[in-house]
């Protein structure tokens, strides 16, 4: 085995790449095997319209049709037609699902960039949702309906994405069978 001493920018680039490969390896061991079909559920929450498969630690499990992804009640998107994005995650047993919201932003693209990393261990990230507050109205998760629902201040726009792994800037991202690295410096 050869040892190469690296320093400076090259060392930082290789270190970041190694961390990204490790993140990707972890994501591939705990992932959605088949893409879910996300849709609105009872005005305020999200569900998968069809059963889908997840893999956790090499064991595949089926997530039942109509599994609820709870949007919670603490996320507020401010007026002025702001956006927020939330990761759609489920526990490794395939029985408890939730939305982990990122910070709001002025555009959908910026909201996607703000997606929070999943903080709980033992979860599978199956995609994400973006929600836009209507002009002149706040949108409150769990109180105001998603687009297509009724109740409270209905969101102006709601989009569902079934990308199988979504990472924050500076991590390896696997989506639509393409691998990309971001935040890696050049030597």
| pLDDT values of the chain reduced to their tens digit, one per residue, 187 residues | 556 677 778 778 877 887 777 766 665 667 888 889 999 988 788 999 999 999 887 788 999 999 999 888 888 888 777 999 998 888 888 888 888 888 889 999 888 888 865 455 678 888 899 999 988 889 999 899 899 888 889 999 999 998 755 544 334 444 444 444 444 433 3
Q: Is residue 59 packed enough to be buried (19+ CB in 10 Å), middle (13-18) or exposed (0-12)?
A: exposed
Query: Which pLDDT value is given to residue 134?
Result: 87
Nearest to 56 by CA among 27, 35, 36, 34: 27
The residue ranges of every structural domain in the chain are 8-177
Q: How far apart are CA 18 and CA 142, in angstroms?
A: 39
Query: Which pLDDT value is given to residue 38?
Result: 92
Nearest to 45 by CA among 148, 163, 167: 148
The pTM of the whole model exceeds 0.75: no
> Can you read off the two tokens belonging to residue 129?
């949702």
CA angle 99, 157, 135 (to 5 degrees): 110
Query: Which pLDDT value is given to residue 82?
Result: 92
Query: Which pLDDT value is given to residue 25?
Result: 66
CA angle 48, 53, 57 (to 5 degrees): 130
Query: Which pLDDT value is given to residue 117?
Result: 53
CA angle 30, 32, 34 (to 5 degrees): 150
């Amino acid at each position: 085995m050869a040892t190469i001493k690296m320093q400076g920018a090259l060392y930082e680039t290789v270190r970041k790449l190694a961390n990204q490969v490790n993140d990707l390896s972890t994501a591939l061991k705990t992932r959605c095997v088949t893409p879910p079909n996300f849709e609105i559920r009872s005005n305020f929450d999200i569900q998968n319209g069809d059963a889908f498969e997840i893999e956790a630690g090499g064991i595949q499990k089926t997530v039942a049709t109509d599994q609820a992804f709870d949007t919670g009640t603490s996320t507020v998107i401010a007026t002025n037609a702001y956006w927020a994005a939330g990761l759609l995650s489920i526990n490794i047993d395939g029985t408890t699902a939730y939305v982990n919201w990122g910070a709001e932003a002025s555009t959908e693209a910026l909201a996607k960039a703000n997606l929070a990393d999943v903080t709980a261990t033992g979860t599978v990230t199956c995609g994400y949702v973006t929600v836009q507050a209507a002009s002149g109205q706040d949108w409150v998760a769990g109180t105001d309906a998603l687009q297509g629902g009724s109740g409270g201040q209905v969101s102006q726009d709601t989009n569902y994405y079934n990308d199988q792994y979504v990472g924050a800037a500076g991590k390896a991202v696997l989506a639509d069978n393409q691998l990309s690295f971001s935040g890696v410096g050049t030597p």
